[in-house]
Amino acid sequence: MAALIVLLSLTGMAAAQHWTPLKNRPPFASPGTSLLLTDGTVIVQDSDASDWWRLTPDLHANYVNGTWTQIASLPSGYGPLYYASAVLADGRVIVEGGEYNLGSSQVETNLGAIYDPVANKWTSLSPPSGWSHIGDAQSVVLPDGTFMIANIFNMQDAQLDPKTMTWTVLPGTDKKDRNSEEGWELLSDGTVLTVDAINAPNAEKFVISTGDWISAGNTVVRLEDAGSQELGPAVLRPDGTVFATGANASGAGHTSVYTPPANPMDPGTWAAGPDFPNGLDVADGPASLLPSGNVLCQASPGVFHAPSSFFEWDGTQLNPVPAPKNAPSDPSYVGRMLLLPTGQVFWTDGSSDVEVYTAKGAPKSAWAPTITSSPSTVTRGQTYTISGTQFNGLSQGAAYGDDAQMATNYPLVAIRNRKTGHIFFARTHDHSTMGVATGSMIVSTNFDVPANMETGASDIVVVANGIHSKLHAITVQ
């Protein structure tokens, strides 16, 4: 029992922050955007190419010791660089658009595809009606499972119903600027927050229930770079605030903190945070929530220049932390982060040096998922339902903005055999919600007991954003 707690709470056990390269280097050229499948494995695209690869953790839920296997490649002619992506409520993966495609010059392709991990198959997806280009669009999965994507050339948005695979285009006539270069952050109050790249220093919210864009106030300091209109990532924290990072505006990398209002239709408030030191900023780049509530972010000087430095925002200040090996030669925009079930952060930079960040600090007990209903006995190869609270975590987890999205606000289920200590992830699917910070609301997901897992007395947990529930006894037969 103690082994499972340690293995799924590595951040809480660490004496100091550190980076660890994978034991098995990826057997492909350029690891880029990574996504966490609902069976606990990580899939990674070979950047600007059609091939994808799967990293499977070892039997102790250790991703550093994980092994690589190739999965199905994207449909012929499609291999994007900088695009929209998400894991859907049914466990499938959607990839849409691409600023570049298969090593081409800038094309802003409107190609897209859906991946079925059970069938190991990608299927081409037609674009929204009238959209001849998509490019490096931002996207988000709404609480009801709808996938929403931006038109970067105007104020339009489009929503995909994953059940019917049909698009609905929203006019976006009430948005104050075009969507290009902006990122979206799902909030718990039924809105989606964005910082305007053109209409700076203003921010806006998309009201999910009405389909309207309304004001989200003023960021106080300018977060966009005036020349490139680049922005940094924004991350929702467990206290309900959003930490937003800025690009090289006026020679400084500003930050700002958003506090949502009691009434979602009100703007909310912003307060200026500290500037990144030494002329650093995040003109495109990654950030990730940590189980402690801190936010790990990668910054570099100017727009698209090396070297990179890494910081943790603790709600008050930016604290320097160690950097991975390639940081001296990396600008921030090449980085990608993914929050793992262990609470560690999976990091890629387009090179073969894929590393895992282990932080220090532990989550508050109130942030954890709780199981209210779970089967006491399960059979290998069968599907069951598990219910409880906060199965989707308190945030989308990692962020980038436009160019890449790798949210993990969905439940994972892990089962540990008491005799061997081996940990098996049961594939989850058809979650009752894709919201964040759902509080005391009872939510649920279905899980498939692995056909090859060990039988006997075991313990089951639900994991969200690297934080796991208390252990519940279960027998696998």
Element of type H or E holding 255:
strand 252-259
Q: How far apart are CA 228 and CA 249, in angstroms?
A: 10
The two most distant CA atoms of the chain are separated, in Å, by 63
Token pair of 448, please?
């498939």
Q: Which residues contact 204 (CB under 8 A, 6 or more apart)?
A: 175, 176, 193, 194, 196, 213, 214, 215, 216
Q: How far apart are CA 295 and CA 287, in angstroms?
A: 7
- Which DSSP letter does residue 273 get? -
Element of type H or E holding 143:
none
Q: How far apart are CA 112 and CA 106, in angstroms?
A: 16
324 neighbors 31 (Cβ within 8 angstroms):
no
Regarding the domain delimited by 17-358, which CATH topology (the fold level of the hierarchy) does it fall under? Methylamine Dehydrogenase; Chain H (2.130.10)
Question: In 290-333, at which residue ranges do the beta strands (DSSP E only) sit?
Answer: 295-301, 309-313, 318-321
Q: How far apart are CA 300 and CA 248, in angstroms?
A: 10
Domain boundaries, the chain: 17-358, 368-476
Token pair of 6, please?
């340690």
Q: What is the pTM of this model?
A: 0.97
What is the model's pLDDT at position 11? 37
What is the model's pLDDT at position 6? 46
454 neighbors 422 (Cβ within 8 angstroms):
yes
- The tens-digit pLDDT sequence of the chain (477 residues) is 333 444 454 434 456 899 999 999 999 999 999 999 999 999 999 999 999 999 999 999 999 999 999 999 999 999 999 999 999 999 999 999 999 999 999 999 999 999 999 999 999 999 999 999 999 999 999 999 999 999 999 999 999 999 999 999 999 899 999 999 999 999 999 999 999 999 999 999 999 999 999 999 999 999 999 999 999 999 999 999 999 999 987 778 999 999 999 999 999 999 999 999 999 999 999 999 999 999 999 999 999 999 999 999 999 999 999 999 999 999 999 999 999 999 999 999 999 999 999 999 999 999 999 999 999 999 999 999 999 999 999 999 999 989 999 999 999 999 999 999 999 999 999 999 999 999 999 999 999 999 999 999 999 999 999 999 999 999 999
368-476 placed in CATH 2.60.40.10: yes
Q: How far apart are CA 127 and CA 167, in angstroms?
A: 8
**How big is the CA angle at 384 (ends 374 and 375), to the nearest 5 degrees?**
25
Q: How far apart are CA 142 and CA 318, in angstroms?
A: 30
* Rg for the chain, CA atoms, rounded: 21
What is the model's pLDDT at position 8? 53
What is the model's pLDDT at position 135? 97
For residue 475, count CB atoms less than 10 angstroms from its CB and return exposed for 0-12, middle for 13-18, buried for 19 or more: middle
Residue 312 carries which side chain, given as an amino acid letter?
Answer: E
- Which DSSP letter does residue 73 get? P
Q: How far apart are CA 272 and CA 456, in angstroms?
A: 54
- Residue 307, preceding peptide bond in cis (omega within 30° of 0): yes
What is the model's pLDDT at position 15? 66
Look-up of token digits 């649920």: 444
Token pair of 451, please?
């056909």
